[in-house]
A and B are shown apart, each in its own frame.
Chain A
Amino acid sequence: MTDATSQSGPVLAADGTPLKKSLARALRLQKTRALMLIAPLLVFVLISFVFPIASMLFRSVENSIVMETLPLTVEELQNWDADSGQLPEEALYAAFIADMVVAIDAKKHTRLGTRLNYEETGMSSLFRKSGRKIKKLDPATDGPFKDKLIDIDKKWGDVTTWAVIKTHSVKITNGYFLNAIDMQRTPDGAQAQPEDKRILIKLFQRTLFMSLMITASCIMLGYPVAWLLANLPARTANILMILVLLPFWTSLLVRTSAWKVMLQQQGVINEVLVWIGLVADDARLVMINNQFGTIVAMTHILLPFMILPMYSVMQTIQPTYLRAAKSMGATNWTAFWRVYFPLSVPGIGAGSILVFILAIGYYITPEIVGGTKGVFISNRIAYHISSSLNWGLAAALGTILLGVVLLLYWCYDKIVGIDNVKLG
């Protein structure tokens, strides 16, 4: 012992290397080993989850279709001033015919028409109909094209048609995002959509409103239950816990179909109400296919996610605090409100964010019990992906939704810590 301390110079490890170096090597080894264990999963998640979502998000700004389908036209359009009110020159028409002939061969012109149709109705049929006639033209010999094209469809003699093409000929566009907030990319910059097309802002508001309602009702229903579970003797609490965990473990579709059974006009609740005479047979309550149905069903589905975090926080609050407060003269209410409630706030926060995050992106339940009035923004995204095929707009809506969720996730991480998530 005395030898080691009296020795001058760096402390050496058993094999003669300086201890510091040896420790650093051991640490490095440990780090590499940990990373090697993590690597397979990390790579798997990055490739099959993070990358697909990132590339999906990129679709919300990606807009190379115009430039790829009509390269010559786009080049010519740079020389044309849409504000002049004048039709473009012959050169542009010639370039357009040349582009279209190539595009028609590759059967790409209808896709371009569909793309432009999102911005200006009528473009899809314009491209499809004109395409059939342009096919017969030969770009080398049949010029001049300006009058011929206007003969084919007089929309080609309309300044707005060309202005629309010019506006959307950029590679990276903000058009989808503008659409997502009920605006439009026009030659004169961003402008509001016409009244009758403004539905998305309303839908976002409704999604937020309903998610808040669901979160609020989950707090109202979850708090008493969590309190009771945390304050009962462990044996009783464990038995009652089953009543919370069973819905948690039951298939989402089972619970959704159960609510459909309960809430229908010929459903269980209405039948019971009619039977005991609270509601007349011809005035059955409408509880499904509207906001009420969605809120009730989703509150039920998400309630366990509120109760479990609240319960784990409340378990740590000593009941003696309440007794101490009361012994010092606090009324029941004061003792609860000034002592117990502040201590339970972290649980409420954790549960609320969790429920809100889950609620805001829900798809299945609103689709089945929401009808048209009780659907969420996610149903709109699904509609654009599978029915209208406007993938850019779907991606833009998805990006906004994801942004909101990630912001909340960040808050959750700050408040609760992602390591502290507990299940069951």
Chain B
Amino acid sequence: MAALTPISRKPMSLVLPTVAAAGGFFGLFIGTSNGSGTLGVLIGALMAVAGAALYIFVLKNENLGKWLTIALYGALGFWFGGIAAAIIGLLYGWFIHWFSYWLYEGRYRARLLPYLTPKQVLWHYTFRVICGAIFTFLITPILVVMPLSFNAQDFFTFTPEMLRLDPAGYSLKHYQDFFTNNEWQRSFKNSLIIAPIATVISVSLGTLAAIGLSQSHVPGRRAIMAIMISPMIVPLIISATGMFFFYSQIGNWMEGTLGLNKTFVGYVKVVLAHAVLGIPFVIITVTATLVGFDRSLTRAAANMGANPVTTFFRVQMPLILPGVISGGLFAFITSFDEVVVVLFVGSASQKTLPWQMFTGLREQISPTILAVATILVGISILLLATVEMLRRRSERLRGMSPT
């Protein structure tokens, strides 16, 4: 992006105190962890100011200054606390150099509107920092789990070996446990059986119903919609208790009167219960896709002699497919993630992965959970990418501009 605003160098009275504050802030943490906060602040501030003065008055060469600072802070970090501290030092060195030049050259103004007052500029960046903190809050818990799952110890926290980046502190043993332990494997398999079947049921019924709902004259449309969305709105615990009573009767009837296998009946119960929970998501996404659907296409197909079934599969389906698939993914993840209902409706032989994690978290705390969590995060990244791709494709297909 071209510079919006002509930039100019800023006076030392702005640059030096700000750089000192940044250095002092960083120094505070290093200082407190080594005994004296005040000393840390002072040293940090002085070093930052000295650095800034060095770039501006002595070196006058940005690139040379950069490598010098990075090397200096990296070496300091290594001297104090090994490899991990050295990495922090390198990053900090890069930051403080960039920050000094950013201020001194007035680059922070470059992308802002020229008429903003200094206060507005300050607020602009404060706001960015606040938002950055919130994004950190959103993403940190997910990121923290990943390295911890490679812990060589059975702890839920970073060991000193891990912090020193010592290879001995890391291992794949929790993953190994997940892939060899029967309990985990069985529950993983159960999840992989239950979720796809439940998804197929909710997608096929849900798509038909969404097409029906999108017709122009449907009596009681709002009421029907409300009923179909209700599994998403009713608190899970209430759905679970209701289904608990209902499916125990259905299960008794199926085992007693129809004489079916107990395990099979158990799966049927859980699959049906999960299918209901996934329906609202399918309805919502497919209805949203159908809003932009050009109805004259089906009429044109009918006009040229296609029967309704052909019209549906050859004309309508390809166009609404992205919506159907992303609805299906939502339904899948709903079932794949679901604990409360399966806890009430299922029996031990239908134990799913989330159930196993839930008992793991409540009773015996095993770090295998973190390995499973990392795998699940991987799966959700895949799903997210797919949904995002489908959404864009659907927008393109419907002629909306890809924003």
Contact = CB atoms under 8 A, between A and B. Distances in A.
A and B: bona fide binding partners: yes
B42 to A, nearest CB: 16
Contacts of A398: 237-238, 241
Nearest to A221: B134
A293 B211 CA distance: 44
Contact of B226 (A30, A221, A332, A413): A413
B369 A257 contact: yes
A385 B248 CA distance: 13
Interface string A283-304: 0000000000000000010011
A345 interface: no
Contacts of A419: 225, 287
A221 B358 contact: no
Contacts of A360: 235
Contact of A249 (B139, B237, B383): B383
Contacts of A36: 212
A367 interface: yes
B179 interface: no
Given A52-B245, A364-B340, A402-B234, A34 B130 contact: no
Contacts of A401: 235, 237-238
A275 B275 CA distance: 48
Interface stretch (B95-103, B152-160, B256-264): B152-160
B245 A35 contact: no
Interface string A362-383: 1110011000000000100110
Contacts of B296: none
Interface residues of B, number: 98
Contacts of B211: 37
Contacts of B140: 262
B79 interface: no
A385 to B, nearest CB: 5
A278 B33 CA distance: 8
A260 interface: yes
A34 B212 contact: yes
A243 B298 CA distance: 39
Contact of A418 (B34, B138, B225, B245): B225
A261 B377 CA distance: 16
A364 B357 CA distance: 11
Contact of B361 (A50, A257, A391): A257
Interface string B128-146: 1011001101111110110
Contacts of A409: 233
A267 B358 CA distance: 19
B104 interface: no
Interface stretch (A7-15, A53-61, A85-93, A120-128): A53-61
Interface string A225-260: 100100000100000101111110111111111111
22 contacts: A42-B224, A44-B275, A45-B276, A52-B245, A53-B239, A221-B134, A228-B128, A246-B142, A250-B142, A252-B337, A252-B339, A255-B142, A258-B144, A261-B145, A268-B144, A268-B157, A300-B138, A332-B123, A357-B235, A378-B235, A385-B344, A406-B233
Interface of B: 29, 32-35, 37, 120, 123, 127-128, 130-131, 134-135, 137-142, 144-145, 148, 155-158, 205-206, 208-209, 211-213, 215-219, 222, 224-231, 233-239, 241-247, 272-273, 275-276, 279, 281, 284-285, 287-288, 326, 330, 333, 336-337, 339-340, 344, 354, 357-358, 361-362, 369-370, 373, 376-377, 380-381, 383-384, 387-388, 391, 403
Given A224-B134, A275-B33, 4 more contacts: A249-B381, A261-B148, A276-B29, A361-B234
Interface of A: 27, 30-31, 33-38, 40-42, 44-46, 48-56, 59, 221, 224-225, 228, 234, 240, 242-247, 249-262, 264, 266-268, 271, 275-278, 300, 303-304, 332, 357, 360-364, 367-368, 378, 381-382, 385-386, 391, 394-395, 398, 401-402, 405-406, 409, 413, 418-419, 421-424
